[in-house]
Amino acid sequence: MQKEKYSILYVDDEEANLNVFKAAYKWDYKIYTALSGTRGLAVLEEHPIDLVITDQRMPDMDGVTLLKQITARYPDVVKILLTGFSEPEVIITAINECGIYRYISKPWDDTEMRLSLQKALEAYTLKQRNQQLIGALQQAKAELEQRVEERTVEVRRQNEEIAQQKEELTLHYELLVEAMREKNGIIGIVAHDLQAPLRRISGLIELIKMVSEQAEQAEYYNLLQKEISQGVRLVQNILFAEKLEEQTDELVLEAIDLGQVIWTIVQKYEGMAAQKGLTIQLENVTAPIFASASADYFTRVLDNLVSNAVKFSPSNRGGHIFVRLAKHNGQQARIQVQDQGPGFSDDDKKKIFKRFQKLSAQPTGGEPSTGLGLSIVKTLVDKMNGELMVESTVNAGATFTVILPLHLAKSPPLKVESDNRGDFLNNKQE
């Protein structure tokens, strides 16, 4: 049974830091503090501790020395090193000899610290559970060895079952490691990809202060709004991806007019495409085709695919983006988005739908790319009982295909917001 609260020991020679940490996290964890490494070891002897956080620069005993002693005496304790200096040798030693979970730069950020504590303790719990499972397997093996003489056939059967269970546990462990990598990737994305728009926002603010003409100020304000929107979109994508991962409720599917959604998305991005000298061509989109899907999910899927096509297509070359809609195999709808961009390598295709993956292709107009969009698309399509495929070669563009089940039951069509959809689509196909 899991403890009511995890126990955390924070060691730092600055009492103010200890007080701030304790005030911030005392409601979530059982917090112990120590002003020196010596006192920290004493606390470990007196109380069961799950996680130790220590500063590196301390007068009587530095952080690495303390962590070495903790590793020798309490090997199961999770360890985090705090450092305010750029000391790669110290960090390497802490990783190789102390097995630290991670290091955090001082002064630490509350969001980063809170997420690091959560993930470190999740890893601690997982390790404890794995040790229990390994212990259970070892005990089962010992019991089987005692019965081997009188029940040889039964022992062999049970050994085969144990081997299968071990293989399954290994597979599950690998999946959990991959999930942890993705979780930790969130920290890297936020720390790295948010820095660029924030720096540009700061620079634009300084430029606005320097100029006096309203026209120049308006231009900078527009750029400022664009950078803010990019940062907000990044955060929204991260939050949406996490929400999808945690969602367990069964999705309610309904009759969705795919052509209506396509029409709306094309209108949204035709201006952006025109700025890059691109045109969006629609094929076979006039006839209503209803799929059994989620309107919100399908809108997000198509929005990501079309926006990516615009982002990654070369500028000022008179290129085209094709959006196609057709019935497929009598019971499915097929939606395709094709661009004339740089395409994907074979290595890209292996990881294209995984989260937080940066591919070889880069946006052609300096647009941001977080490595989340296509993983979200894949998750949404899967939740709608559909299929997602990509066909591409390097320097020859890419075609993304979404297959969704048709809505075969009689259902009233969703309301189209405008009466001129057919005229608009016909004009786009001419």
Our CA dihedral for 136, 138, 142, 147, rounded to 10 degrees, sits at 70
Cis omega before residue 107 (within 30°)?
Answer: yes
- At position 124, the amino acid (one-letter code) is Y
Tokens coding 81? 């090193």
| 108 close to 82: Cβ distance less than 8 angstroms | yes
The pLDDT value given to residue 237: 59
pTM: 0.47
Collect all residues with Cβ–Cβ distance below 8 Å to 110 and sequence separation of at least 6. 24
DSSP string, 292-352: EE-HHHHHHHHHHHHHHHHHHSPSSS--EEEEEEEEETTTEEEEEEE--S----HHHHHHT
Task: Report, as an integer, the average pLDDT of 66-86.
Answer: 86
163 or 3: which leads in pLDDT: 163
Comparing 18-27, 90-99, 238-247, 269-278, the range with the smallest average pLDDT is: 238-247
Nearest to 277 by CA among 230, 310, 323: 310
The pLDDT value given to residue 6: 92
Average pLDDT in the chain = 79
| 276 close to 365: Cβ distance less than 8 angstroms | yes
DSSP string, 377-419: HHHHHHHTT-EEEEEE-TTS-EEEEEEEEB--S--PPPPPS-T
* Intra-chain end-to-end CA distance of the chain, in Å: 67
Task: Report, as an integer, the average pLDDT of 403-423.
Answer: 60
Nearest to 108 by CA among 239, 20, 199: 20
State how far the Cα of 426 lies from the Cα of 283, in Å rounded to an integer: 9
| 334 close to 325: Cβ distance less than 8 angstroms | yes
State how far the Cα of 144 lies from the Cα of 254, in Å rounded to an integer: 54
Q: Report residue 360's pLDDT band, with 50, 70 and 90 as the boundaries.
A: low
The pLDDT value given to residue 399: 93
Collect all residues with Cβ–Cβ distance below 8 Å to 195 and sequence separation of at least 6. none
The pLDDT value given to residue 426: 44
Nearest to 85 by CA among 67, 58, 61: 58
Q: Report residue 250's pLDDT band, with 50, 70 and 90 as the boundaries.
A: confident
Q: How deeply is 22 buried, as exposed, middle or buried, from its count of CB atoms within 10 A (0-12, 13-18, 19+)?
A: middle
283 forms beta bridges with 324
Asked whether the predicted pLDDT for residue 425 surpasses 50, the reply is: no
Tokens coding 89? 């040798």
Output 415-424 pairs: Cβ under 8 A, ≥24 positions apart.
416/257, 416/260, 417/260, 417/264, 421/259, 421/260, 421/263, 422/286, 424/263, 424/267
Q: What counts of helices (H) and strands (E) characterise the chain?
A: 13, 12
| 99 close to 79: Cβ distance less than 8 angstroms | yes
State how far the Cα of 424 lies from the Cα of 421, in Å rounded to an integer: 5
The tens digit of pLDDT for each residue in 83-103 reads 876 667 777 777 777 888 888
Sign of torsion, CA 409 406 257 326? negative
